[in-house]
Every structure is written in structure tokens, then in C-alpha cells.
Amino acid sequence: MRPRTPYAIVLVIAVLSGCARLLAQGQYAATAPAPAQETQEQASGTPAQDATQAGTLFPVWYLKSNRNIDPRVRPNAGLRTPMAYYPIAGGPMLYRTFSPVAPDFLGVQATTPWSVRGSLALFGVDDQRVSSKLQEFRDLRDGVTAGLEAHYREGRGTFNLIGRQLGRGDQDLTMDGGKAGIFQWAMSYDETPHTYAFGARSLYSGAGTGTLTIADGIQRDLQNSTSISDATAKLNGYVSQSAQAVDEALRRQRVGGEVTLVATYPFVAKASYSNESRDGVRPWSGSFGFGEYVEVPWPVKYDTRELRVSGEWARPEGRVYASGSYRLSDFVDHYASLTFDNPLRLTDSANPVGSYDGGPAAGRIALYPSNLYHEASGTLVVKNLPMHATLNALVSFGFMRQNEPLIPYSTNTSDVLTDANGSSFNATDPRGLPRATADTSMSTQTVHAQWTGEPFKNVRLTGQYRLSKLDNH
């Protein structure tokens, strides 16, 4: 028989979408009564600028929903209310994309300054755990998901909210608002799954931690094997009978925010902070004495915290633009190393074969080290120099620091080494290391300057200087 191809079928069986766009007038502006007093535009014979006047050719202002908050899968089918697509009561209408009607924030006409739209979907999925590739970076499961879009505006104040795939593993939510020209803020949250495999079979317990263990009875039985073929047969039997199912997948979560600290023309200063965390397991491999490779669930549990402060001087009518920023990136790995049992041995052996008849009882892998990064950068643009020239310059300096504890040379207690002084020490003893921590750092420098001018008509010259430097200490 031909093997079944793994796949999953996704069908959105219900989508409900609605929008509340409450306008100041329920009907098209042409039906509104004429005011008692004519405006200057009417007296001059030009189209009225006030949408409440009779004979105007333009609709009133309104806040329009413009983001796709339906599920990010196709096809989908369901019910959508007409108001979600036709903001003017009475059905679809065509009108000019530009309207000279006075905006509501000028106070010429009264409007309801908010707009809300929602989406609700029910997923029905067939064979949802057959193909991990189909769900590698998205969440397709039976159940409900929602979307939300909201806007508010009054005077110079604004607020916007967009939420998609809410309640699922690939959801995202963004908010921003403030007062134009004075204060602005923004916040965001999003999740992204990364699925490698559903139900991977493994003899290891402790998936998702820094220590993976196998039952002592299994290790003892395999260590007492009589040949490679005997050990292989026993191992295959234990995998088919005793192995547990492990979902190898990561969950990425990111939360961040930005705020305007100073907004005094022509200077703007901003600060932002974000934290990205990843949690789960990914497939990896390890060995014992350069042989006997095994697949292990590598624990992923780390955070990347980033702080940025920036300032900008910009005058469109001026000649000079300048900006500067400072960035701090702090990477924290909650597991410095991964220790995993050797399925073929329960005890250490001086025989470095790396099989049932020799090698260590466990292996160890160093994971990503925690580290810190500082960066300062500046940009300068000067226009209208002699010979119609423009100067662009970028300067950046960075400093990286890593001082994680070093792991011993080996996990095998039978290994004995000799240091530079001729003294013997056990390879599992961290006191035999040249130092206790990595104590490493790197410095970076980047300079890019470019001058572009036109000394003569139809003659343009460009000169540039670049420096990229890395000092590895």
C-alpha cells in the first residue's frame, strides 16, 4: 500500500465580524438639512466644506477599520455584517478618496470619535498532529480564536488597538496612542510557535531541563551486552516499548514598549524596552567519545532584554540632521549546559571507545552563554554645503562581555589529565581549568562617511570612507 501522506485540513466554519462606526449623521450628508446661514464657500459658489450642509458632495469624516483581523488561513467562510465593509448607511457607495470636509478634530462638526470591529472564528482541523511542518510557525488547532480592532480620536489625542489570533499560540496585540506633537507611546505583545516534531520518541526523562536521564535498569542491561548487534537489538526494543513521546517545539514570546520622553521641536527623545523569551525543546545530537551519537531534546529557556534610548534633531527647513542612540542588550540563558545519560553505559570506563564496552556514563554540552552588549551610535547629515554637496556620517561603538563559568574537560570520572606544571587532576574537577570563568570580551567600531557634491555642471563626485573593526579579547 502507498503510505499515507501527512497533511492537515483546516476549515474556518464560522466567522462573525461586525463594526460600530457611529457617525454624527446616520445618512449620507446630502440628505442633511441646510443651515440657516450660508458659509463663505457657498457664497462663492464652491462646494460646501461642512458635510452637514445640503448639496455637499462629500461624506462626513469617520474612523475607518483598515486591518485584517480574520484568521490567517485560507479558505475561510462565514458571516460578515455589511457595516464591516460599508461605513455609509444604506449599502456600498463610491466617493472621492480625497474629501475637503473639515476634520472632526477641528470642531466644525460633531462626530463619534471611535470605531470598534471584532472577528470570531471557530477552527475545525482534521489530522492536526500529523504534519508538524504545516504548523511549524502557526497554531492550527480545534477551537475558537478572535480578532479585535479599535480606534479613538479626539482633538490631538489618539488611541489604536489591533489584536489578531487572540487566544492562540501565534497571537499578537499592539496598542499606541498619545497627543500629536507632544507625547506618544506604543506597546506590543506577540507569540510565535516553532514546531519541530510531534510525538518524537525518546528514552530520556527530564525534557526541557538541563539534565536528561535514562532508567538505570536500561543502562545496566545495555552495558552487559555481548556485542554491538546485541546492544543494538536491545536498544531498539527499549525504544519501541519504553520510549515516551516528546513534542519538540519552542514558544517565543515578545513584549515591548516605546515612549516619547521629550517632544520639543525640533528635538525628539524616545526610550524603548523589550523582552523576548524562548521556552521549549529542540532536536539536537550528542556523542560519547566521538562515537555513539544520540538525539537529545535540547532545552531552550532564555531571555533577550533590550533597552534603547535615542534622540533626534530634525528641521525640514534646516541644513542639519543629527541623531544618537544607546542600546543595551542582555542575553540570559537559564541553562549553562546540558548533561545527558549514555544509554549504553551505567558506569564510567577508562576505555574511550564510546560504546557498551567503554566510555563515559553521561555526556555534557555547553549551551549558549549569557552575555551583555553595549552600543552607542550617532548619525549626522549636513546639506547645502559648497558645490551643492551633502555629507553623511555614521559612527558606532560596541562592547560585548561574556563571563560564564567554564565547565570541566570531561564527565568521565576515569579520565586523568596533567596540567602545565606536571600535576595530575581528574578531568571532571573544575579546579583543573586554567580559570574559573570565560572572562572574554569583544569591541566593535564602525565608521562610514560619504560626501557627494557637484563641482561642475553635469559632473558629480562622491567620496566615502569606511572602517569596520573587531577586537576579540
> DSSP assignment of 120-150, as one string?
EEEEEEESTTT-TTTTSSS---SEEEEEEEE
Which amino acid appears at position 169 of this protein? G
Q: What is the pLDDT of residue 116?
A: 87
> What pLDDT is recorded for position 79?
73
pLDDT value, residue 61: 57
- Sequence-distant (≥ 6) Cβ neighbours of residue 268 within 8 angstroms: 260, 262, 311, 312, 314
Q: What is the pLDDT of residue 283?
A: 94
Cα 309 to Cα 159, 184, 202, 264, 271: the distances in Å are 23, 15, 46, 16, 4
What does 9-69 look like in DSSP terms, one character per residue? EEEEEEEEEEEEE--SSSS-GGGSPPPSS--HHHHHTSPPS-TTSTT-SSPPP-----S--
pLDDT score for 102: 57
Digit-by-digit pLDDT tens for the chain (473 residues) are 444 544 444 444 444 443 333 333 333 333 333 444 444 444 444 444 455 566 655 555 556 677 788 887 777 777 776 544 444 433 344 433 444 555 555 555 556 678 888 888 888 888 888 888 888 999 988 889 999 999 888 778 889 999 999 999 999 999 999 988 788 999 999 999 999 999 999 999 999 999 999 999 999 999 999 998 999 999 999 999 989 999 999 999 999 999 998 888 899 999 999 999 999 999 999 988 766 789 999 999 999 999 999 999 998 888 999 999 999 999 999 999 999 999 999 999 887 776 788 889 999 999 999 999 999 999 999 999 999 999 999 999 999 999 999 999 999 999 898 888 888 999 999 989 999 999 999 999 999 999 999 988 889 999 999 999 999 98
β-strand 440-456 against 424-426: which pairing, if any? Answer: unpaired
pLDDT of residue 100: 53
Q: Is 17 exposed, middle or buried (0-12, 13-18, 19+ CB in 10 A)?
A: buried
**Continuous segment of H or E residues that includes residue 231:** helix 228-242
CB 28 within 8 A of CB 70: no
Residue found by looking up cell 519541530 in the block: 196
Residue 364: CA atoms inside 13 Å, Cβ hemisphere, count? 14
Of residues 67, 172, 71, 190, the one with CA closest to residue 121: 71
**Nearest to residue 454, comparing CAs of 392, 393, 384?**
384
What is the SS3 assignment for 238? Answer: helix
pLDDT at 377: 98
CB-facing half-sphere around the CA of 187: CA atoms within 13 A: 6
pTM: 0.80
Burial class of residue 31 in the structure, from the number of CB atoms within 10 Å of its CB (0-12 exposed, 13-18 middle, 19+ buried): exposed
- Going by the DSSP 8-state scheme, the letter that residue 355 receives in this structure is B
Backbone phi and psi for residue 310, each to the nearest 5 degrees, phi listed first: -140, 150
> How far is Cα 281 from Cα 306, in angstroms, rounded to an integer?
24
3-state secondary structure of 369: coil
Q: Is the dihedral of CA 23, 29, 33, 39 positive or negative?
A: positive
C-alpha span between 137 and 131 (Å, rounded): 12
Rounded to whole angstroms, how far apart are CA atoms 337 and 406?
Answer: 10
Q: Are 101 and 50 in contact (CB under 8 A)?
A: yes
Place of cell 546639506: 383
